[in-house]
Amino acid sequence: MHKPRSRDRGPVSEESTQTDFSNLDVLGGTPVPSTAIDACLWDGFHLNNGVKITNGAGVLLVNGEVFSWKPWNANRADGEENKRLANDKGLWEVGDQSWGVLEMVWPKPDLLILGLGPNMMPLSPATRKAINSLGIQVEIQDTRNAAAQYNLLATERGLGSVAAALVPLGWRDGVGVVSGKATDTKR
């Protein structure tokens, strides 16, 4: 094989049926899911359906339903205040109680997108096993990218096949949610 000697593609077409690829929007006519994330905040989330969770809680989005989600509560002993999501090895780990909604829902989503706050970290084998034992695959990202991916996949696949569990952007391990400013997500 040899390289082309010219970049000339011939004369400009005069056809009236030319495709303008800059105007091509495959999902343009598809409605945005009611649980699409409009904004990721330091202390919560704003959703497309008008729901605002701004009390420092995360959000669990399953089958078109919205749940306030505090996975750090599953890591504490009775009466103990625990604001940790990382174990001693630096892996993201939450108790099995965090996935109670996913255990109850039917049909189960194919994919759970985990937004771990402002940064990514590896998922502990125990947490991955707990999610996978429900028949659900898991994807790990920072919260901003997880929200954008959830919005896209929920639009493409529908709300039944994808779920999201998102920790607020202001989450700091050992501290909890710290104050900050809101940032919009890309949809």
| C-alpha separations of 23 from 6, 18, 151 in Å | 28, 12, 21
Residues paired with 165 in a beta bridge? 60, 114
Query: Taking the model in full, what pTM does it have?
Result: 0.80
User: Where residue 65 falls among pLDDT bands split at 50, 70, 90?
Assistant: very high
Look at residue 81 in the predicted model and tell me its pLDDT.
Answer: 62
Query: Are the C-beta atoms of residues 183 and 48 closer than 8 Å to each other?
Result: no
Look at residue 180 in the predicted model and tell me its pLDDT.
Answer: 61
Distance CA 66, CA 40 (A): 15
Q: Which residue has the tokens 């998102």?
A: 166
| C-alpha separations of 50 from 37, 46, 125 in Å | 10, 7, 36
Nearest to 66, CA basis, from 78, 81, 51:
51
Higher pLDDT, 185 or 19: 19
Identify the CATH class of 62-184: alpha beta
CB atoms within 10 A of CB 36: 20
| 100 φ, ψ (degrees, to nearest 5) | -55, -40
Q: What is the mean pLDDT of residues 129-149?
A: 97
Radius of gyration of the chain (CA): 21
Q: Which pair of structure tokens corresponds to residue 167?
A: 């920790």
Q: Which pair of structure tokens corresponds to residue 10?
A: 């011939």
pLDDT in tens, 151-175: 999 999 999 999 999 999 999 988 8
